[in-house]
Amino acid sequence: MKLGASLARRVMSIMLGGILALLNAPGAAAEETSVLDKALAEIQYQVTAIEHQPGDKVKAYARLVEKADALVQAYPKRAEPLVWKGIALLLQTKYAGLKALPNVFQARRLLEASLTLDPKANDGAAYLTLAMLYYQVPRWPLGFRSDQQAEMYFAKALEVASHLDSHYRYGEYLLAKKRLPQARAELQLALAFPERAGQPADPIKKKDIRKLLDRIGHAARQAAAAPPETVFGASVQPAFSKP
């Protein structure tokens, strides 16, 4: 049960951390895009409704997975339905816990499949989601955690699109790995982006980014104030001292 709760918390962090809105992707006829966009917008609305309304969220997300799967079947050459089905599966896992662990693996496959169709769809949302998955899920045998894979997907996400979310999440990852100078640089880049119309979570994200930057500043001040021999948490004999 503890492992299941841990997995659920990690998935919650990934999904509620702000997966990009997957709308208005280019590359299809205008009529098809309009119909698909409306369907994706409805799924996005239902995610918000499920999160904020009482009821059996596991069953609610199971129904949403079915709706997303219908879009996958109807638009086999589009990446967005695959990504949204993966998101719905991950959100279901948040509430179902360890018994829904296969959902995480299925979501990974869906995200990877979307990349074969259009890796640039929706500003690289699939790359960013995979990066966060790879560094937050448990390690083998329960999960597939891999810092190397996370780094690769973060790099690809930033290559496809430089925006608030990509720099924020990469900075968050670097901070978790105690790479403070790099984390500060990425978070400052994220903070510099203007808040986007239609993205009410942006002010909340910027508030979180400022908190992370405060943590980095506090850690830097502590390191500067510490005696040289204790900066790295252990006593170190100066080279010129006698044994």
Q: Which of 89, 111, 145 is the last residue of a domain?
A: 145
Q: Does 203 share its domain with 105? A: no
Would you say residue 231 lies in a domain?
no
Range of the domain at 172: 162-222
- In terms of domains, do 197 and 172 share one? yes
| Helix (H) or strand (E) run with residue 105 in it | helix 101-117
* Any domain includes 172: yes
238: three-class secondary structure by DSSP: coil
- The reply to whether 198 falls in a domain is yes
Residues 9 and 60 in one domain: yes
What distance in Å separates the CA atoms of residue 82 and residue 144, rounded to the nearest whole number?
20
* Cα–Cα nearest to 86, from 69, 70, 63: 69
Indicate the number of domains in the chain.
Answer: 2
Q: pLDDT by residue (tens digit) across 118-153?
A: 998 878 889 998 998 998 888 888 889 999 999 999
Q: Are 203 and 195 in contact (CB under 8 A)?
A: yes
End-to-end CA distance of the chain: 52
pTM of the model: 0.78
Q: Which of 89, 97, 5 is nearest to 43 (CA)?
A: 89
In Å, how far from its chain's centre is CA 113? 17
Is 70 within 8 Å of 76 (Cβ atoms)? no
pLDDT in tens, 173-202: 999 999 999 999 999 999 999 988 877 788
Decide if 150 is inside a domain: no
Cβ atoms of 206 and 189 closer than 8 Å: no
The pair of structure tokens assigned to 46 is 């239902």
What is the residue whose two structure tokens read 């993205």? Answer: 199
Asked if the structure places residue 228 within a domain, the reply is no
DSSP-derived 3-state class of residue 7 = helix
What is the average pLDDT across 197-212?
88
Residue 232 within any structural domain of the chain: no
Is there a single domain that holds both residue 43 and residue 140? yes
30-42: per-residue pLDDT in tens?
A: 445 688 888 988 8
- Region of 97 (left: φ > 0; alpha: ψ -120 to 50; beta: rest) is left
